[in-house]
Amino acid sequence: MIHLLFTGGTISMQRDAAAGGNVPAHGGEALVALAPGIERIAPFRIEDWARVPACHLGPDRLWSLRERVRTVAASGEVAGIVVTHGTDILEETAYLLDRTLDPRVPVALTGAMRTSSDTAWDGPRNLRDAAAVAASASSRGQGAVVVFNGEIFAGRTAAKTHATNLAAFSAPHAGPIGRVDDGHVTYTATGEQRAAPVEPEGLGARVALVAMVVGDDGRMLDLARAEHDGVVIQAFGSGNLPPGAVPAIRRWLEDGKPVVLASRCPLGEVTPSYAFEGGGARLVAMGVTPAGPRTPSQARMELAIALSAGVSYGRS
């Protein structure tokens, strides 16, 4: 049996003329009825956990969702779990689940870029594909994955890289790990070493994400410092930033608050090789931590998980 956990998002929406746009409309029963064929994949049960846009989910609700998924996975009653989710922050949820849950029970997250009011609605295909992934014996041990437009991405690497395209998700630092073709699940990436799950008791750490701009003087970093436990800086290129921001970074470190350095480039990662003032090498020497193969949003979630669990950033 697979567990279909519906949280809302575009996949649940339709256009409402009175509201002036797309709004939540469909619950789990309606979505399953609109995606015929799931019953041929595996027996299933439906849970309407929520019906909200993804951008309405804050840390507390994300943690509640994580706890619900953990409880279902630990029950021993299901072979896999499907989570339908809005795409706006689906990458944060996928990262959270992949980094904090036992990978033996697969969790397939999916959504849609079109609503049921649109002619090219991608919801039914994505839902069927996610069900196939959750039900597949080959998914056991893969942990949380994102299933979108026929591709499978590891939850710790998936990112939304296009605002409107049906192929909205990719993995800039890794690539897809599999595909779904006519219900057949194939994994092409195997044997990757997984980091051990981190198990915080909640997601209470407050982590800022501050993007550098030309001529940055560190003012936004200083404003964020009092209200946050750590910060991810979205720097230029391979990890460089304006020298005017360096004193503000030093103040974060002097307060004992971790600073993680990510790149604003969609491909590649921070490589601390520049030793000029504001260069990545100088920043790392100060105590700043490179983000590794993570997007800024993934780096922020990793730091929030680590701080909430009382472990070092990116601990294996």
Which residues have a catalytic role annotated?
10
The residue type of 220 is M
Q: Which helix (H) or strand (E) holds 266?
A: none
Identify how many contiguous H helices and E strands the chain contains and give both numbers: 9, 16
- Whether the CA torsion 207, 210, 216, 222 is positive or negative: it is negative
Inter-residue contact 173 to 122 (CB < 8 Å)? no
Taking the C-alpha atoms of residue 65 and residue 10, their distance in angstroms, rounded to an integer, is 18
Inter-residue contact 291 to 262 (CB < 8 Å)? yes
- Residue 260, token pair as written in the block: 């993680």
- Residue 289, token pair as written in the block: 């931590």
